[in-house]
Structure formats: structure tokens, C-alpha cells
Structure 1
Amino acid sequence: MIPAHLVLKAHSLVCFICKDASSNWGCLAPTIYRSGENNCVTEYSIFETGGQSGQSISKRFSVDCPGGVSCCSFSFCNFSSASSLKVSYSVLAMAPLASFVYVRAGL
């Protein structure tokens, strides 16, 4: 059964909302459309402070689609942050190798 706060009226937009989460798992709070804001926006940024690096993900409603962000206009379309990430193919290729070495070393 769908929770009462997510029962949709016809043509309602539902976006995931969060602010400065450290991963996409912290960005899975669905929220129903706000008047005049008909786009779901995902902003992903990488930062470095004191030699430590991290990431930040923010999701929100928006009236328009600002540049430099992932933007979509149908319900639940900003579930994943993957479309806004710039992923290195060499890093993706190394992942299976790293997993193999981890298992073989017994870590």
C-alpha cells in the first residue's frame, strides 16, 4: 500500500529531495510537487578540505533547469545521481581487478 503522503493527484510531480548528502542513499526522500516548480534537479559536487576529499549530492525542485546540473521533469526521475556523474572509464575497468585482488588476498 502506498503511504498517504505519497498518494498522487493527477499530473503531480514527485522528486527526491536532499541537501548536501554524502551519498545517493541519503537522497531518497520523495516529496510531492510544489506549485510552479516542475523540474527535479540533482547537483553533484566533489570538494577537498584540508587534504581530504569528499562528495556532496543535493536534490530539489526547480522552476527551470539551471546549467551544470542533471534535470528532469517526470516523477521519480532523479532517483539515481548517476546521470550527473562524470565517471572515469579507467576507474570502472579497475573495479573488477581490485575486487579480485581483495578476495585473493583474503582481506
Structure 2
Amino acid sequence: MKALLLAVLAAVLCVERAHTLICFSCSDASSNWACLKPVKCGENENHCVTTYVGVGLGGKSGQSISKGCSPICPSAGINLGIAAASVYCCDSFLCNISGSSGVRASSTLLALGILVSFFYVLRARE
């Protein structure tokens, strides 16, 4: 009986935590290809988070993607036509692979925003 108890104790001490979350991680990357580095989350971090910010104005556009582990799940999103931001979270192995799981600025809304801005500038000159 003692030998069995010692074997169980040794197994428990040698086994790593069964559910270690692994997420992709990056900070302010310009594309999702730069966000494919897996990291092991901390003990309190139970969520993978992806933050996306996109802006388009005057024919120029840009985006920023950040990914990582988080103890909370702050899902949110906003789309203003010429700018969009979203925070997406999930809780399984490498689940934050996509760079656009939430809100994205659509090309139509970006074009409409640019046209409205252009007409506003022209009217302001008159």
C-alpha cells in the first residue's frame, strides 16, 4: 500500500498542469503573418485575445493586430466606416489564429467615408 501511495504521489508531483493554454502572441503587427508565435499562458490566463484596429482615409489604410493571453475576456467592437476596432477572445489551444475574428472596416464603408470627406473639403473651400 505504501509503495502505491508513493508512486501516486511521485506521479502527481512530476506531471505538469493538465490544461495549459497556448495562444498566438504579437504586439502591433501590421499583418496576421507576423502574429503566429505561440506562447504558453500563465496559470491565471484562461483566454486568448486578439485586438484589431484598422483605419483607412484618403487612399491610405493601415491596421494593427495584437495577440496574447489574458485573465479576462474583453470582447468588444466598433466600426465607424473609416476606422474599426475589435477585441475577440477564445479559450482553446491556439484559437486566436485569425487576425479578423471581429469587426473589420469594409471597403464600401471606407470608400464612402473618403467620398464624404472629399466633398466636405470641397464645400469648405467655397
TM-score bracket relative to the smaller structure:
0.5 to 0.7
Deviation at 1:80, TM superposition (A): 1.2
Deviation at 1:50, TM superposition (A): 8.9
Task: Pick 1 or 2: higher relative contact order, CA cutoff 8 A, min separation 6.
Answer: 1
User: Which structure is larger by alpha-carbon Rg, 1 or 2?
Assistant: 2
Q: Residue type matched to 2:41 in 1?
A: Y
Pick the aligned partner of 1:60 from 54, 59, 68.
Answer: 68
**Is 1:27 aligned with 2:32?**
no
Asked if the contact 2:32–2:98 (Cα under 8 Å) also holds between the matched residues in 1, the reply is yes
Equivalenced residues, count? 84
> Aligned partners of 1:42 and 1:28: how far apart in 2?
12
**Is 1:80 aligned with 2:88?**
no
Sequence identity percentage? 49
Q: Residue type matched to 1:86 in 2?
A: R
SS in 1 for 2:101: helix
Where structure 2 has 5 or more consecutive residues not aligned to the other structure, the ranges are 1-15, 77-86, 109-126
Residue deviations 1:9-28, cap 9 Å, x none?
A: 52110000000000000000
Pick the aligned partner of 1:38 from 31, 35, 46.
Answer: 46
2:4 matched residue in structure 1: none
> Aligned partners of 1:38 and 1:27: how far apart in 2?
19
Deviation at 1:83, TM superposition (A): 1.4
Deviation at 1:60, TM superposition (A): 1.2
Deviation at 1:61, TM superposition (A): 0.8
Where structure 1 has 5 or more consecutive residues not aligned to the other structure, the ranges are 1-7, 91-107
Residue deviations 1:48-71, cap 9 Å, x none?
A: 689742000000111111131110
TM-score for both structures, normalised by structure 1: 0.66
